[in-house]
Amino acid sequence: MGLWDKLSRVGSYVRKRRRSLGPEGYSQFKRGREYERKRADREREQAKDSVEHEREVAERERKYEERYMGDRERDIERERTD
């Protein structure tokens, strides 16, 4: 009798589990909610990285302009004196 009881418990567990994994079950809902949360986290991280990258590019361009503006002025002065 003990074996039949165990088998019926296992069968009940499997039926409940299969029902909960269906498209209407809580597990599906939970997975969808977790997926959406992770996707939102990834999008926030990408937006943050994008803003940081744009800031770095703008700073590099500004430094480039500052550095080479002095060289251009010196070249112009040299041409005027020649």
Mean pLDDT of the chain: 87
CB 10 within 8 A of CB 17: no
Residue with tokens 């039926």: 15
pTM of the model: 0.51
Q: Using alpha carbons only, give the angle 23, 28, 32 rounded to the nearest 5 degrees.
A: 120
Chain segment 28-66, per-residue pLDDT in tens = 888 889 999 999 999 999 999 999 999 999 999 999 998
Where exactly are the structural domains of the chain? 2-81
